[in-house]
Amino acid sequence: MTTPAIKVENLWKEYVVGSAEQMHSTFYDLLSHSLKAPFKRLRNLGGAADEENQFWALRDVNFEVQPGEVLGIIGRNGAGKSTLLKILSRITAPTRGRITVQGRMASLLEVGTGFHPELSGRENIFLNGALLGMSRADILRKFDAIVDFSEIEKFIDTPVKRYSSGMYMRLAFAVAAYLDPDILLIDEVLAVGDAEFQKKCLGQMEQSSKEGRTVIFVSHNMAAIQQLCGKALLMSSGSVIDIGQPGEVIDQYFKRGDANAGIVNLDVGALKLTSVDGNYHVVNSHQSVASVSFKFDCTKTVEDLLIDFSLENEKGQKLVHYMPQAREDRPLKATAGSVVEYTLEIDITRLVPGDYFGSITAFSARRDGDVLRQNNIPLFRVDALQGAPECMNENFNGMLIAGYSINLKLLQS
């Protein structure tokens, strides 16, 4: 039986809301805190901790990843995806549970992770290679490929503290991908790059999996998850909800009430977002309109409430933007204790097949700060396109379908 590349058993991670790392001004303070810590932990395990301040980012997570497998991890913001990757990469420690890793691991979790800001790009390549246990000769053999992929040859001897976030990401991805790790952990950091470079990164990840490397990929890009991953894992509120074939797990993500209802009772400022209803499966040939509804509980009076909504595709590209109240110059007075319902009917006849998300912002017309903001809300999927125009095929990369007329002539010289 094959030994898993990664095995996660009964993993829990607790944070204490509002706590900070305690500073110790003297050796006595440090020694006293160290001696008290085990007793505090025992008291917490016995249920004496202040439950209101406890937040479990991960709850009894269990899964295995086989060598050469590509696992995609999906879930809404706050589901525990990034916390899981930080524990896997040993950036933070679990509260309970065990992780077994077979092989050398490289991670790309945040822009510039693992880089020393004062060192040049060249020096950071050698530093990262050494941390992965590679010899100087091995790093030199990979050096040109790393620089070529990152497209920053002109700045390779510049301290990385002067790099833009895009340059950081290009070099970080190239280092992680080309320094021969057995396991590659990648968070949503690819969103920093331009579309062409993202395509290069996805291609390199696909090549890595073909070469037998194990890849764990966290993304909100459902198309990339389906393209790259042999297996997907769905997380919600720190727990594993489903694991299996990517298409089936993505369906579960959109079908589940908590794909949207996970943001129920989000309380920011004067409004509490209590429900989101969308059409999780829409077929263009049968339905031309998708209805989306948001409900808010108003916790205090907002004299001049405006609601701003945008629809985005699975690549994060904004397609349309709605704020009808601003056009008509009629803000809503929402009184404390009332319920605000915001419903949109969206013409989907020009949308290409794929997953669609919404971002909603509620604010005062006086612009004295956001009342509530929530991004990347799963709304609906366009499943199929019957009677599509001739331009549509499996390689279609457009955002929308528009009517068109083409007149192609070959003029004799």
Say if residue 266's pLDDT is above 50.
Answer: no
Q: Return the percent helix, strand and coil in the chain, to nearest 5.
A: 30, 35, 35
All residues at 6 or more sequence positions from 170 whose CB lies less than 8 Å from its CB, including other chains: 149, 150, 151, 152, 193, 197
The residue among 391, 325, 379 whose CA lies nearest residue 354 is: 379
* pLDDT of the residue at 143: 93
DSSP assignment letter at 338: -
**Residue 324 in domain:** yes
* pLDDT of the residue at 25: 47
* pLDDT of the residue at 284: 58
Q: Domain count of the chain?
A: 2
Does 323 lie in the same domain as 183? Answer: no
| Final residue of a structural domain among 219, 254, 289 | 254
Does 116 lie in the same domain as 246? Answer: yes
**Residue 313 in domain:** yes
Most confident of 232-241, 253-262, 360-369: 232-241
**Residue 113 in domain:** yes
Token code pair at residue 41: 């932990």
| Final residue of a structural domain among 254, 281, 303 | 254
The residue among 93, 162, 175 whose CA lies nearest residue 131 is: 175
* pLDDT of the residue at 13: 94
Position 385 confidence tier, pLDDT thresholds 50, 70, 90: low
Beta bridge partners of 236: 239
Task: Taking residues 381-394, report their average pLDDT.
Answer: 61
Residue 138 is part of a domain; what is its CATH number? 3.40.50.300
The residue among 316, 257, 251 whose CA lies nearest residue 74 is: 251
* pLDDT of the residue at 170: 83
Does 72 lie in the same domain as 175? Answer: yes
Task: Taking residues 97-104, report their average pLDDT.
Answer: 91
* pLDDT of the residue at 111: 58
**Among 98-102, 241-245, 374-378, whose mean pLDDT is lowest?**
374-378
Does 240 lie in the same domain as 343? Answer: no
Does 209 lie in the same domain as 328? Answer: no
**Residue 36 in domain:** no
Query: By residue range, what is the domain housing residue 274?
Result: 260-382
Position 222 confidence tier, pLDDT thresholds 50, 70, 90: confident
**49-87 tens-digit pLDDT:** 455 577 899 999 999 999 989 999 998 777 899 899 999
Does 315 lie in the same domain as 235? Answer: no
Does 329 lie in the same domain as 288? Answer: yes
- Angle at 58 (CA atoms; ends 56, 61), nearest 5 degrees: 145
Say if residue 263's pLDDT is above 60.
Answer: no
Does 266 lie in the same domain as 248? Answer: no
Q: What backbone torsions phi and psi does residue 70 show, to the nearest 5 degrees?
A: -110, 115
**Residue 206 in domain:** yes
**Residue 29 in domain:** no
Does 212 lie in the same domain as 134? Answer: yes
pLDDT greater at residue 263 or residue 247? 247
Does 314 lie in the same domain as 202? Answer: no
* pLDDT of the residue at 48: 47
SS3 159: strand
String of DSSP letters for 261-283: HTTTTEEETTEEEEEEE--SSB-
* pLDDT of the residue at 204: 81
Say if residue 270's pLDDT is above 60.
Answer: yes
**Residue 411 in domain:** no
SS3 289: strand
Average predicted confidence (pLDDT) for the chain: 78
**Residue 30 in domain:** no
Does 352 lie in the same domain as 246? Answer: no
**14-32 tens-digit pLDDT:** 987 655 544 444 555 555 6
| Final residue of a structural domain among 209, 225, 254 | 254
Task: Taking residues 306-323, report their average pLDDT.
Answer: 82
Does 269 lie in the same domain as 242? Answer: no
Residue 280 is part of a domain; what is its CATH number? 2.70.50.60
